[in-house]
Amino acid sequence: MSMLFVRQKAKNEVLEKNEQKYIQDFKEKEEFLRKEALISAKEELHQERRELDDLQRDKKLEFERIQADLSRKEETLLSKEQQIVDKEASIDRKEEEIEKKEDYLAEAIAKQISELERVAQMSRDEAKTTLLNQLKDELANEKLQLIRENELKIKESAEEKSREILSQTMQKCAIEQVIETSVSVVSLPSDEMKGRIIGREGRNIRTLETLTGVDLIIDDTPEAVVLSSFDPVRREIAKITIEKLIQDGRIHPVRIEEVYEKAVKEIENKIKQEGERAAADLGIMNLNRELTKTLGRLYYRTSYGQNVLKHSIEVGQIAGMLAVELGSDAKLAKRAGLLHDIGKAVDQEQEGTHVQLGAELARRFGEKDEIVHAIEAHHDDVACTTLTDALVKIADTISAGRPGARRDTLEIYIKRLKKLEEIANSYEGIKQTFAVQAGREVRVVVQPNVFDDVASAKLARDIAKRIEDELEYPGQIRVTVVREARVTEIAK
């Protein structure tokens, strides 16, 4: 028991020594780490102090540099300020010199004005008035010259564009022109047939004339009978009736009535077909049936020798193509162009102009207001207010004015030529006037001492304006003013 206690005691002593040694080592190590941390902190502090000193030195150098720059700028500003002061002083001196010169010039101008008034023997106001009048005349001449130049440029540009549009339109349009008269001729197989058409005591010819309303002219013309009537439909019915009677060989009043009724039905079908064909040619749909039949009657109607239905188709095509070129409604223009002369189908039976009757028909059968207005405006019964109105009017003029489309009577033609020359000769200073190119151009020869170049241009414009106001004509009329001076000497 005592041995165990001794051993335990010795063991405790050893442990106690080891513990004291461990504590001593830990204290020594702690002291070493503390000293090392203190040394490291002192080194860091010293390094930061060096960096702060370097930064402070750099800032000081930067401040000194900025201060030097400010000093130089201040010196420059002071120098410029002195220059400005010197310039202001110089400007003041120059202003004084200018004022002195202005006073001198004003005095000199007053002396010159007085001297000019004495020499010219007129006051300053009178001289101003004279100069203003002279300047007004010069400006008037320059204004006319500018107007002429601008008109030429505008006309060239407009003519070039219009020629391009119209040429493209006309190239696409090729309508056959049919010229008819108020008479039709029926060929006979022999002169013996004339007697059969007349019949016993003239019964057959009287029946034909009564039924058809057409005059039959049987004269010395060999193997032919002439049918005369201003109603083309009646004339066509009579022609078909006689041709069928000749072909059948049986000619008597009862047979004439039968054939006449068949001819009437045939013409009615023909009228309907022509109206439908005209609408189909232009791609027009939903046209009223009665309006279609009325349109087909134009197939047998002529105006100035021009077939009205073919003319209406052509106007519709031209108006439609012009509308395409100008970006307008082509369908509306075609429809208005086709119907513009529809009143001519009934103007021989009803009172009123073909424009009034056509507008009434279109309105009655449900056409749009734009169509009705275009019909009313194509002969200026009302003013053109839409592009469709203008296109129909232009297309109508083109179709009617193309060569061979219409026949003017000799009396109307001569009257127009005389009126053209009369308008030109009404001005003073005119030597001679000639209406040439079938009335499409007026050449006016003026006295060169009365008209100068500007006055000649004004004369041409005035004559053209009077022609537009006083005459009606298809197409256009060119006015050419000729001014020349001829000097002749004879060498002996």
Q: Which residue stretches of 173-252 are H helix?
A: 192-198, 203-212, 232-248
130-153 average pLDDT score: 76
Calculate the alpha carbon distances from 169 to 217, 314, 331, 477 in Å.
Answer: 44, 11, 15, 22
Asked if residue 213 and residue 325 are part of one domain, the reply reads yes
Inside any domain, residue 82: no
* pLDDT score at 490: 82
CATH number at residue 430: 3.30.300.30
Does residue 105 sit within a domain? no
158 domain residue, yes or no: yes
Residue 230 lies in a domain: yes
- Reply yes or no on whether the pLDDT at 26 is more than 70: yes
Do residues 199 and 260 both lie within one domain? yes
Q: Please, are residues 295 and 309 in contact by the beta-carbon 8 Å criterion?
A: yes
147 within domain boundaries: yes
- 342 and 290, same structural domain? yes
The pLDDT-based confidence of 174 (bands split at 50, 70, 90) is very low
My answer on whether 348 and 219 are in the same domain is yes
Handedness of CA 306, 310, 311, 314 (dihedral sign): negative
417: phi then psi, degrees, rounded to nearest 5 = -65, -45
11: in domain = no
Domain CATH number, residue 269: 3.30.1370.10
**DSSP reduced 3-state for 98:** helix
Residue with tokens 């060999």: 222
Instruction: Reduce the DSSP state of residue 188 to 3 states and report it.
Output: coil
Indicate the residue among 401, 421, 450 that finishes a domain.
401
Residues 206 and 264 in one domain: yes
Asked if 297 and 341 touch (Cβ cutoff 8 Å), the reply is no
Concatenating the DSSP letter of every residue in 45-96 gives HHHHHHHHHHHHHHHHHHHHHHHHHHHHHHHHHHHHHHHHHHHHHHHHHHHH
For residue range 83-96, what is the model confidence (pLDDT) as tens digits?
Answer: 998 898 889 889 88
Same-domain pairing of 134 and 236: no
- Residues 421, 303, single domain; the answer is no
Residue type, 191: D
Q: Nearest Cα to 340, choosing from 286, 287, 379?
A: 379
Task: Please check whether residue 61 lies inside any domain of the structure.
Answer: no
Distance, in Å, from the CA atom of 362 to the CA atom of 353, rounded to the nearest integer, reads 14
Question: What is the span of the domain harbouring residue 147?
Answer: 122-172
| Number of domains comprising the chain | 3
- In whole angstroms, what is the distance from residue 401 CA to residue 436 CA? 17
Q: Given pLDDT bands bounded at 50, 70 and 90, which one contains residue 248? A: confident
d(CA 368, CA 108): 80
pLDDT at 59 over 80: yes
At 385 the pLDDT is: 87
Instruction: Examine the pLDDT at 180 and tell me if it is beyond 70.
Output: no
Q: Is residue 390 part of a domain?
A: yes
Q: 332 and 372: one domain?
A: yes
Tell me how far apart the alpha carbons of residues 424 and 467 are, in angstroms, rounded to a whole number: 9
Domain closes at, from 401, 433, 455 = 401
With 60 as the cut, is the pLDDT of residue 406 above it? Answer: no
According to the model, what pLDDT value does residue 159 have? 64
Looking at the structure, tell me whether residues 290 and 371 fall in a common domain. yes
- The sign of the torsion formed by the CA atoms of 145, 148, 151, 156 equals negative
In terms of domains, do 264 and 336 share one? Answer: yes
One domain for residues 312 and 203: yes
71 pLDDT above the threshold of 80: yes
Q: Which residues of 255-291 are buried (b: 16+ CB within 10 A; e: fewer)?
A: bbeebbeebbeebeebbbebbbebbeebebeebeeeb
Q: Mean of the pLDDT values across residues 362-385?
A: 88
Strands 306-307 and 441-446: unpaired
**Beta strands 478-483 and 441-446, pairing class:** parallel
Contact criterion met (CB below 8 Å) for 357 and 350: yes
Q: What tokens appear for 424 in the block?
A: 């030109």
Mean pLDDT calculated for residue range 381-405: 80
- pLDDT of 408 > 60? The answer is no
pLDDT at 169 over 60: no
Q: Are residues 298 and 392 in the same domain?
A: yes
> What pLDDT, on the 0 to 100 scale, is given for residue 199?
82
| Structure letter (DSSP) for residue 348 | T
pLDDT recorded at residue 404: 53
pLDDT over 80 (residue 487): no
Say if residue 353's pLDDT is above 70: yes
Instruction: Provide φ and ψ at 248, rounded to 5°.
Output: -75, -35
Spatial separation of the C-alpha atoms in residues 438 and 485, rounded to whole Å: 28
Q: Which residue has the higher pLDDT, 169 or 386?
A: 386
Out of 112, 145, 172, pick the residue that ends a domain: 172
Residue 388: pLDDT above 80?
yes
